[in-house]
Amino acid sequence: MTGTEQLLDPERVRRLFDLAGSVQAWNGGHYNDDPYPAWQRLRERAPVQEGTVHELSGIDEDLMFHGLPYPDRPHYSAFSWAACDATYRNPETFASSAEAVDLEEGEPGPVNSMLSMGGAQHRRYRALVQPSFSPVKVRWWVEHWIETTVNALIDAFEHAGRAELNVELCAAIPVLTITGSFGLPIDRALDVRESLAQPDRIIEMLAPVVAARRESPEDDLISVLVQSEITDEDGETHRLSDPEIHSFALLLLAAGSGTTWKQMGITLAALLQRPALLDAVKADRSLLRAAIEESLRWSPTDPMFSRWVTEDVDFFGAHLPKGAVLHICLGAANRDPARWDRPDEYDPSRPMRPSFGFGGGPHACLGQHVARAEMTVAINALFDRLPEIRLDPDAEPPRLIGFYERGATAIPVLFD
């Protein structure tokens, strides 16, 4: 991969990945406060409460995110680890989409996205791509796309003596990785990011690749999809149609380009703002895994997801009617003192326990192992190639901002 620095225009990256800009305003990207004190008070008040997470946190404006706005449905929010865990463990009562509540019994669910599927249908479709995102397949991702992308990006700023890591590294890695795995050229990567709200534009970019892979498969994700076969409920086996492939692709492109960059920035900001910990991780790279997992617990980039209630249920002291939306406040659950000591501290040395950094239940993040690999390869490469890396003391230090999507502001570093 050559010429990455020219093809990924820094100003365009900055605009498309600006948490505080207009692109993210709809989900609270301009939110500058720390929401965790409010979430602590809410968790201590009751594990499940009526209202949305942002309303209960004191935000008056209407925000949108997964499960929002749905103004005609009653809304509830879960804040404790136990309540969020119980929600994830009961997908029959707490469905991943509104369609599961609205459909008549026996009517098949929608096939437009795995996020809208449940039960056996979700398991069948997810099983088609799960092997490509499994831990044993991570090396495939690293060797085909991640290492090349990371090193090309560092090449672009290595001799400058300084960089802004959000724009010049973190934002670019996931979008180049996922678009590369779909056979799209580098110069279309930001077109994909810019078109996430216009799926027809992305399908126009993908259609020629799908057609080409049907004729001649290669070693990429589109080839996996065009060769996949699925058995429906009647026992009939068929290859995926173009609309089914497009559905998979839209979901994976949106997820793959939109979350890992923020979590990578959160992890790097946490390390760079703790010089002793930074030096320890540089000296002993085995500590990096714990640093990443602690970042996922301490400040998950998406601290809330939602589920739809399929039947009347009494749940942790609240009565939830059928059709209600239950918002799972993962951020609050990940700092529940019933599960972790000193939960508000970023401490990678704490005993490692699973968190909700990648969600939970049947819809846990499909690409979580690839995301971990992207963060691990990128941070290791930074420390290998720029061992003197440190925050620029003359620049504003990074801050964590955003409400329903959280991330670090600019991460200015020196490494001369």
pLDDT digits (tens, 9 = 90+) for 159-185: 999 999 998 999 999 999 999 999 998
Q: Which residues contact 80 (CB under 8 A, 6 or more apart)?
A: 43, 47, 48, 316, 332, 333, 336, 338
Round to whole Å and give the CA distance between 205 and 199: 10
pLDDT digits (tens, 9 = 90+) for 5-18: 444 788 888 888 88
Considering only residues 349 and 194, tell me which one the structure prediction assigns the higher pLDDT: 349
Pairing of strands 325-329, 75-78: parallel
| 120 pLDDT tier (thresholds 50, 70, 90) | low
Q: How far is CA 4 from CA 9, 164, 169, in A?
A: 9, 16, 11
DSSP code for 357: B
Q: Which residues contact 71 (CB under 8 A, 6 or more apart)?
A: none
Phi and psi (nearest 5°) for 139? -60, -35
Q: Is 183 left (phi over 0), alpha (psi -120 to 50) or beta?
A: left
Handedness of CA 295, 10, 402, 192 (dihedral sign): negative
**Residue reference for tokens 């090449």:** 155
For 171-190, the DSSP string reads THHHHHHHHHHTT--GGGHH
Q: How far is CA 204 from CA 74, 210, 214, 245, in A?
A: 38, 10, 16, 13
Q: Which amino acid is at 275?
A: P
The CA-CA-CA angle for residues 26, 247, 244, to 5°, reads 165
The CA-CA-CA angle for residues 266, 95, 72, to 5°, reads 90
Question: What count of other Cβ atoms lies within 10 Å of the Cβ of residue 193?
Answer: 23
**Residue reference for tokens 């039947």:** 311
The token duo for 324 is 């209600």
Phi and psi (nearest 5°) for 213? -75, -25
**Residue reference for tokens 């991780």:** 281
Determine if the pTM surpasses 0.95: no
Round to whole Å and give the CA distance between 176 and 67: 28
Find the mean pLDDT for residues 196-205: 90
Considering the chain, what is the average pLDDT of its residues? Answer: 89
Q: Is 191 exposed, middle or buried (0-12, 13-18, 19+ CB in 10 A)?
A: middle
CA 156 from chain centre, in angstroms, equals 26
pLDDT digits (tens, 9 = 90+) for 292-344: 999 999 999 999 999 999 999 999 999 999 999 999 999 999 999 999 999 99
SS3 state at 395 = coil
The token duo for 32 is 């500058």
Handedness of CA 33, 273, 41, 338 (dihedral sign): positive
Considering only residues 12 and 132, tell me which one the structure prediction assigns the higher pLDDT: 12
SS3 state at 56 = helix
Q: What is the pLDDT of residue 5?
A: 46
Round to whole Å and give the CA distance between 307 and 67: 7
Reported in sequence order, the residue ranges of 52-139 that DSSP labels E, i.e. its strands, are 75-78, 94-95
pLDDT at 397 over 70: yes
pLDDT at 363 over 90: no
Q: What is the pLDDT of residue 232?
A: 73
Round to whole Å and give the CA distance between 299 and 303: 8
Could you tell me what percent of the chain has a pLDDT over 90? 66
> Can you name the residues that pair with 164 across neighbouring β-strands?
412
Phi and psi (nearest 5°) for 226? -70, -25
Q: What is the pLDDT of residue 327?
A: 98
Q: What is the pLDDT of residue 115?
A: 59
